[in-house]
Amino acid sequence: MAEMREPIETGCPDPWQYMHPVMRKNFGQWKYHEHPRPGVLRHVAFSGDEIWTVKAGTQRILDVFSLRKLCDIGDQFADGHVHFTIRSSIEFLVTDQAKVEPLIQALEEAGFIVGGTQNSVTMISHTQGWLHCDIPGTDASGVVKAMMDELIDEFRNTNMPNRVHITTSCCQINCGGQGDIAINVQHTKPPKINHDLVANVCERPSVVARCPVAAIRPAMVNGKPSLEVDERKCICCGACYPPCPPMQINDAEHTKLAIWVGGNHSNARGKPTFQKLVAAGIPNNPPRWPEATAIVKRILKAYKEGARDWERINEWIERIGWPRFFEEVELPFTKYHIDTWRGARNSFNASTYIRF
């Protein structure tokens, strides 16, 4: 009897044990793949084996009943072989073509939308939000739900010039990601300090060191050890809030949303591109966030109508120029769009492509 493998407590789990047998058999030996319809991929191996992948969007923060429903569908049509993508879509792996259409029908009847492949708007990647995170300025999962309700047809179909990756985040400093369009929290006021609690809750040297612009320093307030913020230096990033909750920066009035576009990781064909701010001070307006959703829809409409085939959003903007972009999406360009922060030089030096 084979001995059980010792558990690995760090890093990603070994994916081999969860792979479909056909994928294990033909690992690295795929001849080609096809895209028969949105949400479905067909891979053909040199051995002649075939496997179909059916992708459906989920709400990411899944309740146990929805998760069981998806697993039941996977057991019925995909021999129990499913996996989740980084953007919270679920993929069912099927070797029998006759099961593909019944699987799609079962997913649609259960309320899950099949799509998100090729030239579509993918599921929006997002962070934990109010359910799990201890420092959120908004509920990223709520933003995603409201926004994808409006973009459902762009997920279900493949009529964009190229794939569109959208990300959201709950704060300015921890989670989030690079995307063609990013909806991020924007704090507009320095933190409010509860001086009565700082000495008991916060490790002050760590908080001082945490500030990226050296705007925090120790202070004595009302005879108690506390902290103070140089508001001339503060960039309202919120980095001080996680290690020191009495430095509250989340605010119903002054915590806004901002939209950035054009971010793209490097690959074999191109260098990375940095996201650039296009809209700031957008109301953080739950539960539907209509203002942010309207701007994203305008950007996607202009991109869909004006980009050439296979152009990503950053490539489309570079071709037409930023002044034309702001005209096309009907957004104002203000002095706040110009990056004048003197520390940007160090950020750019983190790239392997750009050096100063």
Helices (H) and strands (E) in the chain, counts: 11, 13
Q: What integer pLDDT is reported at residue 341 of this predicted model? A: 66
What is the reported pLDDT for 347? 59
Q: What is the pLDDT of residue 131?
A: 79
User: Average of pLDDT values for 213-221?
Assistant: 94
Residue 345: pLDDT band (50, 70, 90) is low
Please report, for the domain that includes residue 216, its CATH number. Answer: 3.30.70.20
- Crossing angle of the two packed helices 290-306 and 140-150, in degrees rounded to 10: 50
Confidence of residue 226 (pLDDT cuts 50, 70, 90): very high
Considering Cα of 154, then 157, then 158, then 164, what sign does the dihedral take?
A: positive
Q: In the predicted model, what is the mean pLDDT of residues 145-166?
A: 94
Asked if residue 141 has pLDDT above 90, the reply is: no
Are 161 and 285 in the same domain? yes
Q: What is the pLDDT of residue 343?
A: 63
In a domain, 134, yes or no: no
For residue 149, tell me if it sits in a domain. yes
My answer on whether 289 and 182 are in the same domain is yes
Residue 313 has pLDDT above 90, yes or no: yes
**In the chain, % of residues over pLDDT 90:** 66
Same-domain status, 262 and 325: yes
Closest CA to 315 of 280, 267, 351, 347: 267
Higher-pLDDT residue of 320 and 334 is: 320
* 174/305 same-domain check: yes
Are 85 and 225 in a shared domain? no
Higher local confidence (pLDDT), 179 or 352:
179
Same domain assignment for residues 258 and 332: yes
In this predicted structure, what is the pLDDT of residue 136? 87
Mean pLDDT over 232-238 rounds to 90
Say yes or no: 173 and 270 in one domain. yes
Instruction: Give the residue among 21, 73, 273 at the shortest CA–CA distance from 165.
Output: 273
Residue 280: give the domain boundaries: 140-188+252-342
CA distance readout (Å), 121 to 115, 165, 279, 301, 312? 9, 6, 20, 12, 12
In this structure, are 155 and 275 located in the same domain? yes
Same domain for 182 and 153: yes
- Predicted confidence at residue 18, as pLDDT, reads 86
The tens digit of pLDDT for each residue in 314-324 reads: 999 999 999 99
Residue 309 corresponds to which amino acid?
A: D
The verdict on residue 287 lying in a domain is: yes
Alpha-carbon distance 252 to 299, whole Å? Answer: 26
Copy the structure tokens of residue 209.
């060191």
Q: What is the DSSP letter of 119?
A: S
In this structure, what CATH number is given to the domain that contains residue 159? Answer: 3.30.413.10
Both 32 and 96 in one domain: the answer is: yes
Question: Among the ranges 86-95, 333-342, 347-356, which has the highest mean pLDDT value?
Answer: 86-95
Question: Is there a domain that residue 349 lies in?
Answer: no
Instruction: Answer whether residue 119 is part of any domain.
Output: no
Does pLDDT of 354 surpass 60? no
> For 110-122, how does the pLDDT look when each residue is reduced to its tens digit (9 = 90+)?
999 999 999 999 9
pLDDT band at 352; cut points 50, 70, 90: low
H/E run at residue 298: helix 290-306
Give the mean pLDDT of 42-69.
93
Task: Say if residue 13's pLDDT is above 80.
Answer: no
In which residue are the tokens 């047809």 written? 153
The pLDDT tens digits for 248-274 are 999 889 999 999 999 888 777 778 888
> Residue 80: inside a domain, yes or no?
yes
Q: Which of 71, 88, 110 is where one domain is finished?
A: 110
- Taking residues 147-163, what's their average pLDDT? 95
C-alpha to C-alpha distance for 294 and 181, rounded to whole angstroms: 13
pLDDT tens digits, 168-208: 988 887 776 678 999 999 999 999 999 999 999 999 999 99
Which among 94, 110, 126 is the end of a domain?
110
Mean pLDDT of the chain: 89
Q: Phi-psi region for residue 39, left (φ > 0), alpha (ψ -120 to 50) or beta?
A: left
- For range 324-347, the mean pLDDT: 80
Q: Are residues 205 and 290 in the same domain?
A: no
Whether the pLDDT of residue 209 is over 90: the answer is: yes
In this prediction the pTM is 0.87
What mean pLDDT do residues 1-9 have? 72
**Do the strands 166-168 and 224-229 form a parallel or antiparallel pair, or are they unpaired?**
unpaired
172 and 212 assigned to the same domain: no
Residue 219: its pLDDT value, please?
A: 95
Q: What angle do CA 87, 88, 94 make, to 5 degrees?
A: 105
Tell whether the model's pLDDT for residue 356 goes beyond 60.
Answer: no
CATH at 57: 3.30.70.3340
Q: Which of the four pLDDT bands, split at 50, 70 and 90, describes residue 350?
A: low
